[in-house]
Structure 1
Amino acid sequence: MRRGAPSTSLNLLMASFAENTLNQYNSSLKKWWYFCQDNHYNYCEASVSQVIQFFTESFETGASYSTLNTMRSALSLLLDPSVTSNIMITRLLKGVFRLKPPTPKYDVTWDPIIVLNYLSDFYPYDNICLRDLSAKTVTLLAIASAQRMQTLSLIKITNIVIESDCVIIKITDLIKTSRPGAYQPLIRLPFIIENPKICPALALTSYMNKTLNIRNCESGSLFISFRKPHNKVGPQTLAHWVKSTLQKSGIDTNIFGAHSTRHAATSAARRAGVSLQVVRRAAGWSDSSNVFLKYYNRDVNVCATNNEFANSVFNHT
């Protein structure tokens, strides 16, 4: 409104922000508000030097390069664009990058075979409880599709098509990477006839059959709670199921969370010779994206004994 937008347009303007983006900005704007209060600055009319002071104090108290960039984006909603895009602020952020460069969350990843071997014990499906089938199904889907928990939580029963050789899942709701002109995810799960114990398509159809008579038809969501009243579950619950499965499989969950399934799946596919283009499309990255190469493509974490390195060197000399 300060920039001249009519009040009747505010809902449309606010709808341009994803909920997670607003949550991120909320934290930054609170810090900015208290900073301006303490220093008697106008939070909507701050100068370049005042923003630099704010960023410097935030960096000195532990803010990372990515955090400062989030703050910059949040402040661009309040301040004149010439302030947040000023060359001095750009220079300051470059200095932060050089002094405290961002690092990937994972330097290595885990081998999906470890988790698949664990999950193969939960078969046939007539003999396992809904809790175990729920955890197995979402974990297999996460590995097979390399999708985020948010995307998996948005799967609707009506958007699942079961064919003779595969299951096709359309995602019609907006997700983190949704934008004008971008394709929505299309998940294809082939029936792995050779190994039905870890077939994601078979696990999915078995889960649908097991939950057919207990699910709430109003929500239409695929994944529901295994406890009454069996309401739909969100991405946090799915992440809990996956992380619990990883832990029981022997994966170190102090290091690897549910999101690491994207790292493990895409890295395993690349090691197996799948083209970079196919990996990008499966995980929802654009054809020109370097996200996989920069943050996701990781070697498998191998725990070596104290003697293995030396033996490997001296036994071949």
Structure 2
Amino acid sequence: MINNGIPEEAVEISVSSLAQSSLKQYTNGLKLWWEFCHQRNINCFELNSQAILCFLSRLYGQGRSYSSLNTTRSALSLLISPRVGEDHQIKRFFKGVFKLRPPLPKYHVTWDPAVALGYLETCYPNNTISLEALTHKLSMLMALVTAHRVQTFSVIEVPNIEISESKIEIKVPARVKTSAPNRYQPLLILPFFHNNPKLCVASTLKCYLNRTRDFRQPGKLSKLFLTHKKPYKEATAQSISRWIRIVLDKSGIDTSIFTAHSTRHASTSAAVNRGINIDTIRNTAGWTSSSNVFARFYNRPVKNTDNFADAILRL
């Protein structure tokens, strides 16, 4: 970034604009680029289209996917110059990769949320099942009725949860993947689902707060999700993902194919099949009104088969 004209004292602040996950993805590609340049005595900070094409071709020959190569290109753009992505020869190379090795959606179809909901109905009453089962149930219900990422759930603070007679509102002021200037932070709406108390996410959340109240010392353990074994700690996004996968597995859904993130595919695809307006789906899941992410990556045929939460829970 110094090579791009950013003064040294501003580098650390500028790097903070990148998510930790992006930096982690870039590290491997930049390390390989450094080794490639060292072997050929090439300046790794110089925009050399021929060298970059040779490097990317080597990675392609090793079986790298279009997505992986594109990540490497982004890393080189950060290191060298944004002109890496604008170079006509490199753009032509990626058009060729796209045709020869097109990126495929992870899921051609998705699972039916009714399958998981059927299992969750057996986890009742909420005040008598184990804390472990209640924790797993709440994580899956919240994933389905909000269509948000587990990262969002991992940063929810109890003081930001407002409970009324008809619904629970959860404000998420913490920085998440969708956070950006002039963009609203997530606001999760959990209506009370009186038609089926076994699947009422709001009631499940209230019960969970009651059962974990004694673990939450003043000023400590303020996050919503806690680990369910002593010593109780605030749960990470990885823990919440694992809990959701456990529910998927117990529901009979193939976890060798579907991950915790697939709840976004399953719930949003089911909602559109139920006739929920696309703007409602975008707003609920945290996509902007102009985003085509849902259409490109998430809308999948539901395998075996207006309010977003009600549409999911009435399946």
Q: Same fold (TM over 0.5)?
A: yes
Q: What is the root-mean-square deviation in Å for CA atoms of aligned residues?
A: 1.4
1:1-317 map, 5 Å: 1-216=2-217, 217-302=219-304
1:98 partner letter? K
177-186 or 195-204, which moves further after superposition?
A: 177-186
Shift of residue 2 of structure 1?
A: 3.4
- Work out the CA distance in 2 between the residues paired with 1:118 and 1:133: 13
**Equivalent residue of 1:237, what SS?**
helix
Q: What does residue 314 of structure 1 align with?
A: none
Shift of residue 16 of structure 1?
A: 1.0
**Equivalent residue of 1:97, what SS?**
helix
1:181 partner letter? N
Shift of residue 203 of structure 1?
A: 0.6
Shift of residue 154 of structure 1?
A: 0.9
Shift of residue 219 of structure 1?
A: 4.0
- Work out the CA distance in 2 between the residues paired with 1:171 and 1:130: 24
1:61 partner letter? Q
Residues 170 and 187 in structure 2, CA contact (< 8 A), matched pair in contact too? yes
Shift of residue 277 of structure 1?
A: 0.7
Structure 2 CA distance for partners of 1:256 and 1:81, relative to 1, 3 Å = closer
- Work out the CA distance in 2 between the residues paired with 1:267 and 1:283: 12
- Work out the CA distance in 1 between the residues paired with 2:193 and 2:82: 54
Shift of residue 218 of structure 1?
A: 2.3
- Work out the CA distance in 2 between the residues paired with 1:290 and 1:46: 32
**Equivalent residue of 1:168, what SS?**
strand
- Work out the CA distance in 1 between the residues paired with 2:122 and 2:304: 23
Shift of residue 46 of structure 1?
A: 4.6
Residues 159 and 169 in structure 1, CA contact (< 8 A), matched pair in contact too? yes
- Work out the CA distance in 1 between the residues paired with 2:5 and 2:114: 57
Structure 2 CA distance for partners of 1:113 and 1:42, relative to 1, 3 Å = same
Unmatched tracts of structure 1, length 5 or more: 304-317
2:34 partner letter? W
1:104 partner letter? P
Q: What does residue 307 of structure 1 align with?
A: none
**Equivalent residue of 1:300, what SS?**
coil
2:44 partner letter? Y
239-248 or 57-66, which moves further after superposition?
A: 57-66
- Work out the CA distance in 1 between the residues paired with 2:297 and 2:3: 39
- Work out the CA distance in 2 between the residues paired with 1:139 and 1:174: 22
TM-score, normalising length from structure 1? 0.92
1:272 partner letter? R
Residues 48 and 84 in structure 1, CA contact (< 8 A), matched pair in contact too? no
Residues 4 and 81 in structure 2, CA contact (< 8 A), matched pair in contact too? no
**Equivalent residue of 1:187, what SS?**
strand
Structure 2 CA distance for partners of 1:129 and 1:94, relative to 1, 3 Å = same
TM-score, normalising length from structure 2? 0.93
74-83 or 91-100, which moves further after superposition?
A: 74-83
* Percent of pairs with identical residues: 44
Shift of residue 6 of structure 1?
A: 3.1
114-123 or 81-90, which moves further after superposition?
A: 81-90
- Work out the CA distance in 2 between the residues paired with 1:291 and 1:203: 30
Structure with the greater alpha carbon radius of gyration: 1
Structure 2 CA distance for partners of 1:257 and 1:82, relative to 1, 3 Å = closer
**Equivalent residue of 1:42, what SS?**
coil
Shift of residue 148 of structure 1?
A: 0.5
30-39 or 224-233, which moves further after superposition?
A: 30-39
